[in-house]
Structure 1
Amino acid sequence: MASPSAPRATRRRQRSTRVTVAASLLLVAAVAVLGAVPSGSWLLVSVAAVLAVALGAAAAKITHSELLQSRRDAARDRAEQAQAYRRLTEERTAEHGAYVADMTARIAERETALAELQAELGTAQRRAAEVARKMNAEARRADLAERERDLVSGRVEDAEERAAQAIVRIVELEQEVDVLKSELTAMTSAWHRAESARRRA
C-alpha cells in the first residue's frame, strides 16, 4: 500500500517543475528582448517583443494551471480531512452509544438485584417478627405451665436460635443492600459524568 505522502510529494515535484518552466520562459523572453534592443533593428525588436509576449502568455498559462491544481489539491485534502473527521465522529458516537447501553444495562441489573434483596429483607423481617411472637407466646406458656417447662424450654431455645439466625440474615441483607446502593450511586454518577462530557464535546 502506497504511503499517503507519496502523491503529495509527486504533486510538489510537478509544481516545482511547472514553476521552473514558467520562470525559464520569462527568463528566455527577457534575454530575447534585452538582446534585440541593442541591435537597433526594428524587425528584430518586434520579433523579440512578439516572442516575449508569447512566452509570457505561456508562463501565465502554466502559472494559472499550477494555481488551479493547487486549489484542487487543497480542496481534495480538505474533503479527505472532512471524511476522516466524519468517520472519527461516527466511531466515537458508536462507542458512546455502546458505553451508555452497557451502563444502562448494569444499572438496571443492580436495581433489579436491589429490589430482590429488599423483598428478601422484608420477608426475613416478617419471619423474624413471627418467630419473635412465637417465642413470646412460648415464654408465656412456660411461665403459666410450670409442668411443661422442660418441653417449652426446648421450644424456646429453638425459637431463639431461629430468631438469632433471622437477625444475622437481616444484618447480612442490610449490608448487601448498602453495598448495592453504593455501587448504584457510583455507577449513576459515572453515567451522568459521561453524559456531561459527551454534551460538552
Structure 2
Amino acid sequence: MRAVVLLALAAVVAVAAVAVTVLTGAGATWPVAGGLVVLALGAAATRSTHLEVLDTRREGGADRARLAGEYRGITDARVRENRVFAETMTRRLDDGERVLAEQLATIHAHEAALDRRERRLAAVEAELEQAKDRLAGTESLARAQAARAEELATRLSEAEDIAGERAVAAAARIAELETERDALRSELHLWQTAATPGRRRQA
C-alpha cells in the first residue's frame, strides 16, 4: 500500500515537472529534478515493497510455524487418540475373545450334558421297551391265567352242580334206604315176635 502511494506521488511529480517545463519554458533543470524525485520515490517504493514482502514472508513464516505447531499438536493428539483407540480396541478384542472362549466352554459343557442326557434317554427308552415287552408278556400270561381261572371256575361250578345233584340223589337214596331199613326192622321184629310163642310151646 505504501509503495502504491509512493508510485502515485512519483507520477504526480513527473507530470508536474513536465507541466512546469512546458508552461514556464524553463531549461532541463525541472525534468532532471523531477526525474531524480521520481527515481527517489521509485527507490522508496521498491524499498517499501521489499520491506512489505519481507514482513509478509515473516508473517507467513510465523503463520506457517504457528500452523505447523498447531498441526503438530493436532498430530500428537491424533496419535494419542489413535493409541488410546488401539488400546481400547485391543482390550475390547481381548475381552471379546475371553467372553467367546467362555461361551465356547459353556457350549461345550452344554453339548456334553446334552450328549449324556441323550445317552440316558436312549437307555431309558430301551428299558421302557423292555418293560413294555415284559408288561405285554405279563398281560398275555394274566389273560391266559384269567382264561384258565375262568375255565376252572366253570368246571368247579359244573362240579358243584353235579356234586349237588349227586348229594340230593344220595340224600334221597339214604332216605329210601332208611325207610326200607325201618320197614325191614319192623318186619323182622314181627317175625321174631311171631316165632317166639311157638318156640315156647315146643319147649
Taking structure 1 as the reference length, what is the TM-score of the superposition? 0.48
Taking structure 2 as the reference length, what is the TM-score of the superposition? 0.48
Return the index of the structure with the highest Cα Rg.
2
